[in-house]
Structures are given as C-alpha cells and as structure tokens.
Amino acid sequence: KSHESKPVAWGYEGDIGPCNWHKYFPKAGGKRQSPIDIDTSATQYDGSFKPLRIHYDSHMCSSLTNNGHTFCMSVNSDQCNLSGGPLEDKYRLLQFHCHWGSDDTKGSEHTVDGHQYAAELHLVHWNTDKFKSADEAIEKNQGIAVLTAFIKAGKEHRGWNHVLSHFKDIKKVQGTSTVNEDFNPKCLLPENQTDYWTYEGSLTTPPCHESVRFIIFKEVVEVSSEQLAQFRSLCVCSSRKRDTGEDEHLVDNFRPIQPLNGRVVKASFQ
Ligand SMILES: NS(=O)(=O)/N=C1/NCCS1
Ligand SMILES: [Zn+2]
C-alpha cells in the first residue's frame, strides 16, 4: 500500500476548503473550472444542437452511499444512456448526487444572473464511445457529461421520496443502501428538456479534472421544504462532532463560482 498516495482530505470550510484545494489538487486552479454564474445576457443561442436523447431504464439496481461530501446514487447500467444536444458521443449514466445549503436560500453550485437556488442535481455520465472505463474518462477532455437541474422549495416531489426514503440507512458516512425498487432517475428532471445552457468546465469537487460538458436545464424542479430538510439530515463523518457533542450535518456542500476566463455559455433556446 506504500506505493499509493495517501488520500488528501478536502471539504467546504476552513483550511481544507475550496480556497486551498489547488494546493493539493492543482487542476482546481485551472482555466476552465466549474461552477460558474450563467449571465443570461451573454449566452449565445446555438441552433445546431440536435434534440437531447436521455434513455434511462428503471430496472437497474443501484446503491446509495453517503461519501461524506454528498449522497451518491451509483448506477452504471449499460441501459442508461445520454446523447444528442451538444454531445458528439454516447455517454452512460454513472451516478447522480446533489449539492445543497444549510437553508433554502442557498445550495446550488451554478447561479443564474447571480441567483443561487436551494440545491442542484448532477446526473454524471461518462463517454463510452471514446473511453473504456469511467475512471479513464473522468480525467479526459469530453470524458464526462453532467445533466444538471436546479432545485427550489415548493410543492412536494414524489419521485424524490424514492431516494429520500433510504436516507435513514446512509445518515452516517460510508453508509450504503441498496435501491432496487422500480425507480427511473429521469423522473428527477424538469418537464422541459429542450431548453438548456451548456459549456465546458470541470468536476466541482477535487481533483477538479477539466473533463466536463455541463448541460443545465432552464426549468427549475420543485421539492418541498421538508424534503430539502431531509438532504441536510446526513452527517459528515462519525468522528467530527460539534463541541456540543452534536452530529455535524452535511450542508453547504457547494463550490464557489469560478472565473469564466472567456468561455461562452451556449443556449439551446432563443
Ligand atoms: N460535482 S461534480 O459532479 O462535478 N463532481 C464529481 N466528482 C466525481 C464524480 S462527479
Ligand atoms: Zn456535483
């Protein structure tokens, strides 16, 4: 094991927070980092995009884990594929997760005209035309495509309850729960899947590889405030306790906005 480098701890606050990520993860200081603010007055309509093709089946067994940074629903079924839109290749769904705040006024990673939403859903896909594995694709240009939906507090979202009902099993870090009910992650996306913004960026978590094509839906998904509160019920790790002995809850797991550095955000709509 001595040949493998020790994993470096990172987080969202203090010395291990986003301002210091670049010290151990040099790509975090790169020129095409994510997230960004979407200035809708500067986006460019691109009429050349084909329709997005999002084909997920709902018979894939998946596992839900609390990895200490978010909850992650691992899928990697060869029946869950994404192509079309701005993509040149076919991508396979690997996992989905979210970023959220300590209250409903913050939590998303991307912002729109400076507005931050209560949470942000990332459906992570890897390029199966160009690469042989997700581990290879995750660090290569065009290797990853992330379908992204903003979430705001509003009416209850029944689809999310299929995920949230497993949260009691993953409250602690490294907790894992098997999800094999008839659940299709497509139900978590907005109805309108033709209007989106897209740009080339990076993983928003270390090692921040600059391998990601983001596709961000304009329509915002509503979940109830109680459902958002369930996101915040996860704990960060068994060791870290508040001085009151209270569990430390996993909240505000969003990276700050990164410089655009001349990148243009394309829009699929006028
Ligand atoms: N938030 S994110 O989707 O850009 N970051 C990731 N890191 C490893 C798989 S997805
Ligand atoms: Zn993410």
ipTM: 0.99
Q: Identify which has the larger pLDDT, 60 or 150.
A: 150
Buried/exposed code over 87-101 (b: 16+ C-beta within 10 A; e: otherwise):
bebbbbbbbbbbbbb
Closest CA to 240 of 11, 37, 33: 11
Residue 242 pLDDT exceeds 70: no
What are the beta bridge partners of residue 37?
111
* Burial of 19 per CB tally in 10 Å (0-12, 13-18, 19+): exposed
Closest CA to 206 of 50, 64, 7: 7
* Burial of 249 per CB tally in 10 Å (0-12, 13-18, 19+): middle
The average pLDDT across 119-126 equals 98
User: What's the confidence (pLDDT) of residue 7?
Assistant: 86
* Cis peptide upstream of residue 18 (ω within 30 degrees of 0): no
From ligand 2's centre to the CA of 45, what distance in Å?
25
Q: Whose CA is nearest to atom 6 of ligand 1?
A: 203
Please tell me the pTM assigned to this model.
0.96
Record the tokens describing residue 80, joined without a space. Answer: 């869950």
Ligand 1 pocket, residue 146 CB under 6 Å: yes
The average pLDDT across 174-202 equals 92
From ligand 1's centre to the CA of 241, what distance in Å?
26
Q: Whose CA is nearest to atom 5 of ligand 1?
A: 203
User: What's the confidence (pLDDT) of residue 135?
Assistant: 98
* Burial of 7 per CB tally in 10 Å (0-12, 13-18, 19+): exposed
Residues 6+ apart with CB under 8 A from 156: 223, 224, 226, 227
